[in-house]
Amino acid sequence: MKLHRIVALITRHLYLYKRSLARLMEIFYWPFLDLVVWGFITVYLMRFQGQMPGAVTFFLGALILWDVLFRAQQGITISFLEEIWARNLMNLFASPLKPSEFLAATMAMSVFKVMAVSIVMVVAALVFYSYNVFIIGLWLIPFVLNLIVSGWTIGVLTTSLIMRFGQEAEVLAWGMVFLFQPISCVFYPIEVLPNWLQAIAWANPAAHVFEGMRIVLNSATLPLMHLGWAVGLNLLYLTLMIGWFHHTFSVCKERGLLVRVGE
């Protein structure tokens, strides 16, 4: 892997954000609105604190962490879509750039997005609702890292599908992640799911992260088992997805799809 090629791609995307209001809205406007709407719902739910202890912590914390996963996925998929929209894929892949370097650059972009969005949401939650996400404590760090990796996995999966099936699959860039939301148990504990769905949810690393977050907030005990599962599953899925991305890339070159994607 050559760092200068990864830096070149990151530079190309940062230039885009420099003067694009629509792209900046993706970082500042939508996450902020999300937080405002959910914040007011949470304020309303606080009236029932007796029945729902820790509602604010659960909902706002979960919302901020869900956005970490969502933006990590978007960072990868939207970066690929940007190249399709700009008809720039051939400029990239007919250069010495390797697919792995391309993925590394999109992952770096997703970290950049996650950081920017998180700052907006953390500050807004503090200013508007006096909510401090850091009450989760140091556990926040492994939770966030795991959610970023989960986002990458879904991002690489979505990117591979768009590369393989072209423009018709573009909608997946925004929709795919929500397929995983019910089984990530973002806003409710895993026990509310039917048994058969619980079994599927336990195979989802994000479910372990959110379950772990609830354990920390409820009992201040250490969710080491959940963290272990999240790390293990994330590593397994990301490795599989990167392998699948490379396979799809080869298939697309074989079938001449790489030069036609986006047409």
Partner 1 sequence: MSLPIVEVQGLIKRFGDFTAVDGISFEIRPGEIVGLLGPNGAGKTTTIQMLLGMITPTAGSIRMFGLDLAKHRETILSQVNFSSTYISMPYSLTVEENLRVVAKLYGLTDIPRRIDEVVKKLEMEESRGKLTRKLSSGQMTRLTLAKAILTDPKVLFLDEPTASLDPDIAHKIRHLLKDVRRSAGLSVLYTSHNMREMEEMSDRIIFLQRGKIVAQGTAQEITTRFGQSDLEEVFLKLAREK
Residues near partner 1, by CB under 8 A = 2, 4-5, 7-9, 11-12, 15-16, 19-20, 82, 86-88, 90-98, 250, 253-256, 258-259
CB 229 within 8 A of CB 205: yes
Q: Closest approach of Cβ 193 to partner 1, in Å?
A: 43
Q: Closest approach of Cβ 122 to partner 1, in Å?
A: 29
Query: What span, in angstroms and rounded, lies between the C-alpha atoms of 106 and 33?
Result: 25
**Segments in the chain forming alpha helices (H):** 3-18, 21-45, 55-85, 89-93, 99-129, 140-165, 172-179, 195-201, 205-219, 224-255
Q: Kindly tell me the sign of the dihedral angle through the C-alpha atoms of 158, 159, 164, 170.
A: positive
Q: Closest approach of Cβ 195 to partner 1, in Å?
A: 46
Q: Closest approach of Cβ 116 to partner 1, in Å?
A: 18
Query: What span, in angstroms and rounded, lies between the C-alpha atoms of 216 and 207?
Result: 14
| Residue 210: both structure tokens together | 């959110």
Which is nearer to partner 1, 4 or 127 (by Cβ)?
A: 4
Which is nearer to partner 1, 8 or 116 (by Cβ)?
A: 8
Which is nearer to partner 1, 50 or 256 (by Cβ)?
A: 256
Which is nearer to partner 1, 47 or 247 (by Cβ)?
A: 247
